[in-house]
């Protein structure tokens, strides 16, 4: 049985901010990560603040500048089945459809998906690791098959989300509500590496919550895709994933945004690969160069070296697929 | 299968287990108070710091004394005594606990009962036809779509949800929609055939 907690159903965003600012308060959106964390004792909750009554945080609407606004409580199923998102922000549609399982997509929200806690089995297990306030990372010399090849430092988790890389590649931002008002933060600046803060994966402080995700308008001719590689055909986290957003000018790549899932403690922008791709065409030689650039600087651990070749192949296949 | 009773069957949300106890004696357990009736027990439960959740289960409105930390699965099985829904993993990974919440399949082990207030909850008991099997269940029997049967209620509910959304799914669509329900006995092939058969039965109105 879950440990005991008091339960508050917020009647407004302001109420949610107030309630969640207190010590030991946690936010409940879909609850699908929260309940797992509480059950595994990853953290404790004195108070659960439910957002589920906040209708203003649900739904998908066009913004005045031709972009899209998605309420943080919009479920992954709602996003995966939205025709506008499928057509214009394809990478997000595909990422949402590839996450978890049908039941979890029906309940899990986009806000919860980008804020979800890591799946590292030491973190989720009975190990008092660095991220939980202990003094050891068990993965460094342990079973690190599913840990990171980029961005690790002290802690070697991967960020588990599929939608976060897609959103970042599409240039999305999040709106964050707090006691001091609302602010907008680009996904590029939302996530945190262990070197900067080993205790949290994003910049949210107690008393802050994501209220919506905002997608900018994309220029005509922009194409995007999300490709997820996993052990199983469905219902599994990514061994590696790639969100690719490409704007073509004839047969030349005018602009490219390449963000990887499953390889780093945050969605990993393959900046060198983006640079190698910009201005080039999608021919075999360029693609090979881009794939090589994507893994430059990779620092595999004892058991996750396969991810290096996996990222190369993922980059090559995805880009070739875009050319078609 | 079985004789018809003159009281509404499982669709009412009453389980077979407490059926005998309720008929004649006229007594309802504290878990099954009708809307608007406050018993002394219920009032005491509220002052204990517990909540009283208003849950609609299989078409029946219930007021159930719970704690906020109780999952929908725990409440359905332990308080409402509808034990058809199973706990396979308790971690939101296997699908054995699948119920419909407003027609949408969800893992009841990953849902706080208090969060399901106001929604229409359907369990496997609720897809019976009185004491007869519903069409999806019938199809599972016809296609031999279970061995131990433990994952089966969850599979059935996932199918019910699928066919409400997509009455004529392809095998690929079936595989995708059923990917959240694991079967350790490996009855998958038969399960997919059962979904096609259930679609036929529903289309034929049988």
Domains and CATH numbers, chain B: 16-125 (3.10.20.30), 135-203 (1.10.150.120)
Q: Searching chain B, which residue's CA lies closest to the CA of residue A234?
A: B179
Q: Distance between CA A302 and CA A44 in Å, rounded? A: 32
Q: Distance between CA A203 and CA A210 in Å, rounded? A: 11
CATH number of this structure's domain A222-321: 3.30.390.50
> What kind and span of H or E run contains B40?
helix B40-47
pLDDT at position B15 = 52
Nearest to A111 by CA among A20, A7, A247: A20
Q: Distance between CA B78 and CA B89 in Å, rounded? A: 17
Does A103 contact B176 at a Cβ distance shorter than 8 Å?
no
Percent of chain A with pLDDT over 90: 98
pLDDT at position B45 = 36
Distance of CA B199 to the CA centre of its chain: 20
pLDDT at position B33 = 45
Q: Please enumerate in sequence order all residues whose Cβ is within 8 A of that of A51, keeping only pairs 6 or more positions apart, or say none.
A: A10, A16, A27, A28, A29, A57, A72, A73, A209
Under a CB-based contact definition with an 8 Å cutoff, are residues A187 and A172 in contact? yes
From the CB of residue A72, how many other CB atoms can be counted at a distance below 10 Å? 27
Q: Please enumerate in sequence order all residues whose Cβ is within 8 A of that of A212, keeping only pairs 6 or more positions apart, or say none.
A: A57, A69, A70, A71, A72, A174, A175
- CA atoms within 13 A of residue A277's CA, in its CB half-sphere: 31
pLDDT at position B36 = 39
Nearest to B124 by CA among B95, B148, B158: B158
Q: Which A residues 207-246 touch B at CB under 8 Å?
A: 233-235
Report the gap between the CA of B60 and the closest CA in chain A (Å): 23
Q: Distance between CA B22 and CA A314 in Å, rounded? A: 62
- Minimum-distance CB partner of A4 among B67, B74, B180: B67
Does A52 contact B115 at a Cβ distance shorter than 8 Å?
yes
Phi, psi of B112 (to 5 degrees): -70, 135
A138-177: pLDDT as tens digits: 999 999 999 999 999 999 999 999 999 999 999 999 999 9
Under a CB-based contact definition with an 8 Å cutoff, are residues A7 and B51 in contact? yes
pLDDT at position B2 = 41
Report H helices in chain A: 13-20, 34-40, 76-80, 83-88, 90-98, 102-107, 110-115, 163-169, 187-190, 271-277, 284-294, 306-323
pLDDT at position B50 = 81
Report the gap between the CA of A43 and the closest CA in chain B (Å): 15
Q: Complex ipTM above 0.85?
A: yes
pLDDT at position B128 = 96
Q: Distance between CA A189 and CA A173 in Å, rounded? A: 9
> How close are the terminal C-alpha atoms of chain B, in Å?
16
From the CB of residue A13, how many other CB atoms can be counted at a distance below 10 Å? 17
pLDDT at position A323 = 75
Q: Please enumerate in sequence order all residues whose Cβ is within 8 A of that of A42, keeping only pairs 6 or more positions apart, or say none.
A: A117, A123, A124, A132
Q: Which residues of B touch A104 (CB under 8 A)?
A: 92, 107, 110, 180
Q: Which residues of A touch B107 (CB under 8 A)?
A: 32, 103-104, 107
Q: Which A residues 16-55 touch B at CB under 8 Å?
A: 28, 31-32, 35-36, 39, 48, 50, 52
pLDDT at position B206 = 54
Under a CB-based contact definition with an 8 Å cutoff, are residues B181 and B132 in contact? no
Phi, psi of A167 (to 5 degrees): -65, -40
A16 pLDDT band (50/70/90 cuts)?
very high
Give the sign of the dihedral formed by CA B141, CA B143, CA B149, CA B151: negative
**Domain A55-115+158-215 annotated CATH 3.30.465.10:** yes
Does B91 contact A52 at a Cβ distance shorter than 8 Å?
no
From the CB of residue A12, how many other CB atoms can be counted at a distance below 10 Å? 11
3-state helix, strand, coil in chain A (%, to 5): 30, 25, 45
pLDDT at position B27 = 36
A173-207: pLDDT as tens digits: 999 999 999 999 999 999 999 999 999 999 999 99
Q: Distance between CA A57 and CA A111 in Å, rounded? A: 10
A261-294: pLDDT as tens digits: 999 999 999 999 999 999 999 999 999 999 999 9
Q: Which residues of A touch B71 (CB under 8 A)?
A: 2, 35
Query: Could you state, in order of their start, the residue ranges of all structural domains in chain A?
Result: 55-115+158-215, 222-321
Which of A102, A106, A113, A233 should we substitute to test contact with B (largest number of B Cβ atoms within 10 Å)?
Answer: A102
pLDDT at position A2 = 95
Q: Distance between CA B56 and CA A86 in Å, rounded? A: 35
Nearest to A310 by CA among A227, A225, A229: A229
Q: Distance between CA A258 and CA A267 in Å, rounded? A: 10
Q: Distance between CA B28 and CA B37 in Å, rounded? A: 12
Ranges under pLDDT 70 in chain B: 1-49, 206
> How close are the terminal C-alpha atoms of chain A, in Å?
52
pLDDT at position B16 = 52
Under a CB-based contact definition with an 8 Å cutoff, are residues A162 and A261 in contact? yes
- Minimum-distance CB partner of B177 among A32, A102, A233: A102
Q: Distance between CA B16 and CA A232 in Å, rounded? A: 40
Q: What is the DSSP letter of A107?
A: H
A48-107: pLDDT as tens digits: 999 999 999 999 999 999 999 999 999 999 999 999 999 999 999 999 999 999 999 999
């Amino acid at each position: 049985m879950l440990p005991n907690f008091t339960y508050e159903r917020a009647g407004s965003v302001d109420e949610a901010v107030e309630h969640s600012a207190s010590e030991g308060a946690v936010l409940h959106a879909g609850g699908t990560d929260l309940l797992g964390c509480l059950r595994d004792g990853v953290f404790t909750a004195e108070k659960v603040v439910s957002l589920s009554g906040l209708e203003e945080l649900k739904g998908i609407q066009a913004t005045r500048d031709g972009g899209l606004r998605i309420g943080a409580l919009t479920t992954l199923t709602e996003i995966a089945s939205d025709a506008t998102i499928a057509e214009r922000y394809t990478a997000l549609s595909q990422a949402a459809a590839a996450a978890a399982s049908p039941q979890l997509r029906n309940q899990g929200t986009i806000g919860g998906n980008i804020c979800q806690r890591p799946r590292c089995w030491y973190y989720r297990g009975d190990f008092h690791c660095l991220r939980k306030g202990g003094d050891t990372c068990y993965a460094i010399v342990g079973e690190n098959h599913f840990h990171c090849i980029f961005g690790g430092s002290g802690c070697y988790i991967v960020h588990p989300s599929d939608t976060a890389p897609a959103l970042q590649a599409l240039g999305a931002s999040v709106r964050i509500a707090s006691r001091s008002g609302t602010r907008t933060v680009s996904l590029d600046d939302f996530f945190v590496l262990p070197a900067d803060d080993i205790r949290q994966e994003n910049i949210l402080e107690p008393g802050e919550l994501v209220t919506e995700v905002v997608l900018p308008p994309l220029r005509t001719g922009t194409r995007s895709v999300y490709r997820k590689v996993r052990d199983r055909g469905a219902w599994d986290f990514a061994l590696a994933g790639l969100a690719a957003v490409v704007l073509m000018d004839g047969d030349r790549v005018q602009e490219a945004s390449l963000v990887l899932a499953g390889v780093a403690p945050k969605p990993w922008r393959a900046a060198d690969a983006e640079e190698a791709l910009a201005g080039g065409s999608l021919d075999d030689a360029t693609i090979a160069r881009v794939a090589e650039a994507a893994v430059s600087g990779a620092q595999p651990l004892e058991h996750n070296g396969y991810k290096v070749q996996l990222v190369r192949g993922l980059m090559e296949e995805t880009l070739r697929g875009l050319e078609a | 299968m079985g004789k018809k009773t003159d009281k509404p069957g499982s669709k009412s949300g009453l389980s077979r287990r407490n059926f005998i106890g309720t008929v004649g004696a006229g007594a309802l357990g504290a878990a099954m108070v009708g809307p608007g009736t406050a018993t002394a027990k219920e009032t005491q439960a509220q002052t204990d710091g517990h909540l009283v959740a208003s849950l609609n289960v299989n078409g029946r409105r219930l007021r159930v004394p719970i704690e906020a930390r109780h999952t929908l699965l725990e409440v359905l099985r332990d308080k409402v005594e509808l034990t058809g829904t199973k706990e396979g993993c308790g971690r939101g990974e296997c699908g054995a606990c699948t119920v419909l919440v407003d027609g949408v399949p969800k893992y009841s082990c990953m849902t706080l009962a208090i969060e399901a207030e106001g929604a229409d909850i359907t369990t496997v008991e609720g897809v019976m036809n009185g004491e007869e099997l519903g069409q999806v269940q019938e199809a599972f029997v016809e296609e031999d779509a279970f061995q131990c049967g433990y994952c089966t209620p969850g599979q059935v509910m996932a199918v019910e949800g699928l066919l409400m959304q997509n009455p004529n799914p392809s095998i690929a669509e079936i595989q995708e929609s059923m990917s959240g329900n694991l079967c350790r006995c490996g009855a998958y092939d038969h399960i997919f055939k059962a979904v096609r058969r259930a679609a036929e039965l529903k289309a034929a109105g049988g």
